[in-house]
Amino acid sequence: MAIERTLSIIKPDAVAKNVIGQIYSRFEGAGLKIVAARMTQLSREQAEGFYAAHKERGFFKDLVDFMVSGPVMIQALEGENAVAAHRDLMGATDPKKAEKGTIRADFADSIDANAVHGSDAVDAAKVEIAYFFPEAK
């Protein structure tokens, strides 16, 4: 089993619902360690840069509007197969399709306001962690 790191963002909808602690408990319960964390309000520039891969998608502007609509909690998680383990905890992008007991099934309202972000691959995680935690080793 490989020890990996992944980037997690608790999005404005979930921060507004006051469930940061409940989501952190799920990370800890799955053996994922929080190795860096910061609460922040993203600028448009930061949100656009983070989601640059989605620039041409129809939902890009709405996604950026949503991500800057309130504070977010950003963390780097570390553990065995952290990328996949974290994606399993999150559930499917569309909460209606997310398995029972996943973060999105329990806390998300829609495919746009879907509570959490998680890196989808180890390489992407490295880039995303460096984007928000340039000091992380």
Residues 6+ apart with CB under 8 A from 50: 42, 67, 128, 131, 132
How many Cβ atoms from other residues are within 10 Å of residue 99's Cβ? 10
- Name the residue whose CB lies closest to ligand UDP: 93
The closest of 114, 35, 115, 120 to 84, measured between CA atoms, is: 120
Amino acid in position 65: D
Site residues (CB under 6 A) for ligand UDP, limited to 1-30:
none
Stretch 54-93 residues interacting with ligand UDP (CB under 6 A) = 59, 63, 93
Cβ distance to ligand UDP smaller for residue 58 or 137: 58
**Hey, how many other C-beta atoms are within 10 angstroms of the C-beta on 23?**
22
Contact segment (CB under 6 A) with ligand UDP among 12-20, 40-48, 71-79, 106-114 equals: 106-114
Of 25-33, 95-103, 107-115, 127-135, the segment contacting ligand UDP by CB under 6 A is 107-115
Write a three-state SS string for 79-125. Answer: EECHHHHHHHHHCCCCCCCCCCCCHHHHHCCCCCCCCEEECCCHHHH
Q: Indicate the SS3 state at residue 9.
A: strand
Give yes or no: 86 in active site.
no
The smaller minimum CB distance to ligand UDP, of residues 6 and 137, is found at: 6
Of the residues 5, 26, 86, 117, only one is catalytic, namely: 117
Identify which range of 17-25, 27-35, 95-103, 112-120 contacts ligand UDP by CB under 6 A. 112-120
Q: Counting contacts by CB under 6 A, is residue 99 touching ligand UDP?
A: no
Q: Which residues are catalytic?
A: 117
Residues that bind ligand UDP (CB under 6 A): 59, 63, 93, 111-112, 114, 117, 120
